[in-house]
């Protein structure tokens, strides 16, 4: 049994007052809702602010959107996994397609970040997914296998224990065009099979999230698929009512 997980990736959005208002609204919307694990990933400058506002009873955890591939030291502008742990983060998104595409993060860099995050005590959330061109060329499985195998290669057979994977087809991110539930399920099953071939134990408990134009309205059907264990939400995570609707859709879905 895998507990559903819904994560909000706020990306590079918000100002202090907006972040405060959003998080307060989320805590109000989701007070006493504990059926699903929920996490928000604010921009770095707002992590402390959100952490300070987490209520004693808060069911909403904290994650980072990125992590350095280095531990503390002379790396100007970087933020280490240890710092993120110290700020109250439990999770770190690794290898989001925006970082792969806009900041040239290769599979090798992503693998290093994954292992650094894990070694710092964070749960790495490995983002994988194919571009529209890969999909049109029937290369989806090939691309995703390479993204997953790079992490095994660096981290060894048990690297996916205490980790999360997020399948985010690049063509579905921010486009309003989510993968169909059947289409997403097929890729999720492939990801689980790829992990199972090396570590069946990790594969059975590994949570695989879907991300890409998830809304409250399409979430239930996506989350009802056997291998979809929740979602990584972008735009809709900036609206408390919408995000709460997505969290409720995950309730009892698995």
User: Residue 54: which residues within 8 A CB-CB, separation 6 or more?
Assistant: 27, 60, 62, 88
- Distance in angstroms (rounded) separating the CA atoms of residues 65 and 46: 12
Query: Strand 123-128 relative to strand 60-64: parallel, antiparallel, unpaired?
Result: unpaired
Least distance in angstroms from the C-beta of 8 to ligand 13P: 8
Nearest to 120 by CA among 201, 199, 45, 63: 63
Told to judge if 188 belongs to the known catalytic residues of this protein, a careful annotator would answer no
Least distance in angstroms from the C-beta of 103 to ligand 13P: 14
Binding site for ligand 13P (CB under 6 A): 9, 96, 168, 173-174, 211-214, 232-236
- Distance in angstroms (rounded) separating the CA atoms of residues 144 and 130: 7
Least distance in angstroms from the C-beta of 73 to ligand 13P: 29
Told to judge if 96 belongs to the known catalytic residues of this protein, a careful annotator would answer yes
Q: Which is nearer to ligand 13P, 115 or 222 (CB)?
A: 222
Which among 37, 98, 105, 168 is annotated as catalytic?
168
Least distance in angstroms from the C-beta of 211 to ligand 13P: 4
> Which residue number is nearest to ligand 13P in terms of Cβ?
234
Q: Which is nearer to ligand 13P, 93 or 115 (CB)?
A: 93
Would you state the structure tokens that stand for residue 178, as one six-digit string?
């989510």
Which among 96, 98, 105, 242 is annotated as catalytic?
96
Q: What b-and-e string marks burial along 233-251, b requiring 16 or more CB atoms within 10 Å of the CB? A: bbbbbbbbebbbbbbbbbe
Catalytic positions, written as ranges: 96, 168
């Amino acid at each position: 049994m895998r507990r559903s997980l819904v994560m909000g990736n706020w990306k590079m959005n918000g100002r202090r007052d907006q972040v405060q208002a959003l998080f307060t609204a989320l805590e109000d919307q989701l007070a006493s809702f504990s059926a699903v694990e929920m996490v928000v990933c604010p921009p770095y400058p707002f992590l402390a602010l959100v952490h300070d506002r987490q209520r004693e009873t808060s069911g909403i955890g904290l994650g980072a959107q990125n992590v350095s591939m280095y531990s503390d030291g002379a790396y100007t502008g970087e933020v280490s996994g240890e710092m993120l742990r110290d700020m109250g983060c439990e999770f770190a998104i690794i290898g989001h397609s925006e970082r792969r595409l806009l900041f040239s993060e290769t599979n090798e860099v992503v693998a290093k970040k994954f292992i650094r995050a894990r070694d710092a005590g964070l749960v790495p959330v490995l983002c994988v997914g194919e571009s529209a061109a890969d999909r049109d060329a029937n290369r989806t499985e090939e691309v995703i296998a390479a993204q997953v195998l790079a992490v095994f290669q660096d981290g060894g057979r048990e690297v996916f224990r205490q980790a999360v994977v997020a399948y985010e087809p690049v063509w579905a991110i921010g486009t309003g065009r989510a993968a169909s539930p059947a289409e997403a399920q097929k890729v999720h099953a492939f990801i689980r099979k790829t992990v199972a071939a090396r570590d069946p134990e990790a594969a059975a408990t590994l949570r695989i999230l879907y991300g890409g134009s998830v809304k409250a309205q399409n979430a239930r059907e996506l989350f009802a698929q056997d291998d979809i264990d929740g979602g990584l939400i972008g735009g809709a995570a900036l609206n408390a009512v919408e995000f709460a609707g997505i969290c409720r859709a995950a309730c009892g879905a698995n």
